[in-house]
Amino acid sequence: MGANENKIRLAARPRMGVNGDPVSTATIFSPAKINLFLAITGRQADGFHGLVSVVAPVAFGDTLHVRHRSQEPGAGCREAEFTLGCDDPDLPTDESNLVLRAARAFAKATGWRGEVNFRLEKRIPVSAGLGGGSSNAVAALRALNGIAGKPLDAARLAELAAELGSDCPLFLHDGPVVMRGRGERVEPLPAQAAARLRGRRVLIFKPGFGISTAWAYAKMAAEVPRHYLPAADAEARLAMWIEADELTEPPPAEELLFNGMESVVYAKFLALPTLLDVLHEEFGLAARMSGSGSACFTLLQPDSPVAAITARIRELWGSGTFVTDTQIS
């Protein structure tokens, strides 16, 4: 059993609802992610951008609560019923939300019928490049698959996740992965390389504005090819870091950090590179943007003055700036 499965907590035994129907509950951790390495390699034949990326889930994220009520005997012909509530009043809870889209996709793929209420405790900022919506979608898929008796195997679950979004399949893994294609081709980072990342303390911070991923990719496409890194070059750069495991002292995670989307984003959102330069000059930190932003992160050392760093971030970006101290899973 993988670590992700351990993060699904099902009720020990079903309770009875008000109508006497069996009710079961589940609680699923839905982690944020950071892109430690992100190379955009160009446009693919299908119109999507190709990429090579090292992505890692972190110990910070949302929590999805699931309440399932079995339908009464003879109600098998009814369609599945899904509702969603959220503690963030600004987050849409209609059919545009990926949790409900994932639930509908699961029901269509499996023919499963039931009544499920999702309640989302939202902590991951939106439009941040931290994968919150994709993570929530996969949490819903995993919960429903468990409730339904696991009708989907790992391969079919990954296919369904990829249909929901490019970032979704990575959340089916419990550690650092390498993403390729448009993001649907995912494999675990080799164990020794992953060990250099797991447990690393990381500070994630986001300004008061978000950045549209669609805008960032459109801007890159309009300015080709100067923002792209050829796939062969991206693979060579990644391989150099991974294969350094053979060295007596392999390079740290800091030497892996790269984000090819920064050039197009920084040209418009000057607050990002300005702050990251300050963090490097004043604290010696290597900081990068995650995904298409606007969230950024920096890897911390055991003696990093987190309080001082946080204060400096909020001094430059405002007192309401989102900041969280977490670690790579």
User: Active-site residues: which are they?
Assistant: 33, 167
Tokens of 223: 């300015």
Contact 205, 316 (CB under 8 A): no
Using DSSP, state whether 300 is helix, strand or coil: coil
Phi/psi for 16 (5° steps) reads -105, 130
Q: Which residues contact 6 (CB under 8 A, 6 or more apart)?
A: none
Q: Annotate 100-135 with DSSP letters as a single string.
A: HHHHHHHHHHH----EEEEEEE--SPSSSSS-HHHH
Q: What share of the chain is helix, strand, coil (3-state, %, to 5)?
A: 35, 30, 40
Rounded distance between C-alpha atoms, residue 242 and residue 259, angstroms: 17
